[in-house]
Amino acid sequence: MNLLIIGAPGAGKGTMSDILIKNFDLVHISTGDMLREAVKNGTPVGKIAQGYMNAGALVPDEVIHDIIVERFSKDDLDNGFLFDGYPRTKAQAEDLSLILKQLNKKIDAVINLDISDEDLVKRITGRRLCPACGEIYNIYYKKPSKEGICDKCGAELIQRKDDNLESLETRLSEYHKNTQPLIEYYEEMDLVKNTDASKGVDVVFEEIRSFLEGLC
């Protein structure tokens, strides 16, 4: 099964992806994670992406094209994948269609995490991440047992550079302008599962699980 997960910043794409890949044995591909890794390693892609990401703007489509093509050159995607945060523009969606066609693959479903902008503020400003194992926390909704420390591996939690109100405003505006129209684009292909992402993590997962089991 090949899936896309779409939603505004903080809608829960990463949280839900972590659960879905374990339950459905999928490979998780997050362009946000790939770009943050490139920034951390100071690669040429990272050097281009850094400014855009810190400001909350989208990284240019050509850069995203290159990292996606490189990702498909690895041979671990035959049993199913979940794209998180990609595609984000119509050009990226059209590019993905072409890439998949060449590889004789297709998208089976697009999960849309639907949530109002107001609900996202605490999710974004309260998010804390484990830099070692990637576990996602929230100081309002999912606190670690010991403040600032990862329950799973004991590393010190960090906050993302773009998790502030100023950057969130730009990220939301990019989302509404460029990414939200993709829901209609994929609805025309009859691929979209709309989900109320304001509910608790377990409720959201159950709804997606039962939908995906219906596809298998």
List residues with catalytic annotation.
Answer: 13, 88, 127, 160, 171
Report the residue closest to ligand AP5, judged by CB. Answer: 32
Instruction: Select the span of 39-47, 49-57, 151-159, 208-216 touching ligand AP5 (CB under 6 A).
Output: 49-57
Q: Distance between CA atoms of 14 and 124, rounded to whole angstroms?
A: 12
Of 48, 44, 16, 50, the C-alpha closest to 30 is 16
Q: Indicate the pairing of strand 81-84 with strand 127-129.
A: unpaired
124 CB-contact burial (10 Å; exposed 0-12 / middle 13-18 / buried 19+): buried
Q: Which of 138, 164, 180, 194 binds ligand AP5 (CB under 6 A)?
A: 138
Least distance CB 76 / ligand AP5 (angstroms): 20
Residue 209 interacts with ligand AP5 (CB under 6 A): yes or no = no
Q: Are the C-beta atoms of residues 123 and 132 closer than 8 Å to each other? A: no
Q: Are the C-beta atoms of residues 157 and 144 closer than 8 Å to each other? A: yes
Residues numbered 162 to 191 that lie near ligand AP5 (CB under 6 A) are 162, 171
Q: 126 — phi, psi (to 5°)?
A: -90, -5
Go through 35-61 and write b for each residue having 16 or more CB atoms within 10 A of its CB, e for each that does not. Answer: bbebbeeeeebbebbbebbeebebbeb
Instruction: Select the span of 20-28, 55-63, 96-104, 150-158 touching ligand AP5 (CB under 6 A).
Output: 55-63
Indicate the SS3 state at residue 106: coil
Residue 208 interacts with ligand AP5 (CB under 6 A): yes or no = no
Q: Which of 29, 64, 93, 109 binds ligand AP5 (CB under 6 A)?
A: 64
Residues numbered 11 to 30 that lie near ligand AP5 (CB under 6 A) are 11-15
Binding region for ligand AP5 (CB under 6 A): 7, 9-15, 31-32, 35, 52-53, 56-59, 64, 85-86, 88, 92, 123, 126-127, 136-138, 141-142, 162, 171, 200-201, 204
